[in-house]
Amino acid sequence: MSLFIMMTRLAPAAMKSPRSLQESERSAMDRIKKECPQVEWLQNYAVMGPYDYLDIFQAPDLETAFKVSAIIRTLGHGQTEVWPATEWSFFKGWIGDLTETES
């Protein structure tokens, strides 16, 4: 399974009330479970800044990550960015195997 980070910015219309946010979230998660059952949600964070939410999930492939993003965009009326990610320890192992070049 591949790891993905998704940043979401909700449209102002989607943030009418706390109840509407909860309903949107429930709707999105239900649809993701139905249409992408192999996705495993790992973490969710509310963040301050240009985005409203940061989500971390695992998916079997890029196509499934695209589907998750599309579901969030269509149901949450928001903008998403999805980034593939890897754990720092794996990354250090990969770069440790690179041959150094001299400038």
pLDDT digits (tens, 9 = 90+) for 44-97: 999 999 999 999 999 999 999 999 999 988 886 789 999 999 989 888 888 887
Spatial contact of 61 and 3, defined as CB atoms under 8 Å apart: no
Question: The whole model's pTM is what?
Answer: 0.83
**Please, what are the domains in the chain?**
2-96 (3.30.70.1060)
Q: Average of pLDDT values for 15-22?
A: 72
What are the tens digits of pLDDT across the range 71-81? Answer: 988 886 789 99
Helix (H) or strand (E) holding 103: none
Distance CA 86, CA 61 (A): 14
pLDDT of residue 54: 95
Is pLDDT above 90 for 17?
A: no
Helix (H) or strand (E) holding 32: helix 18-35
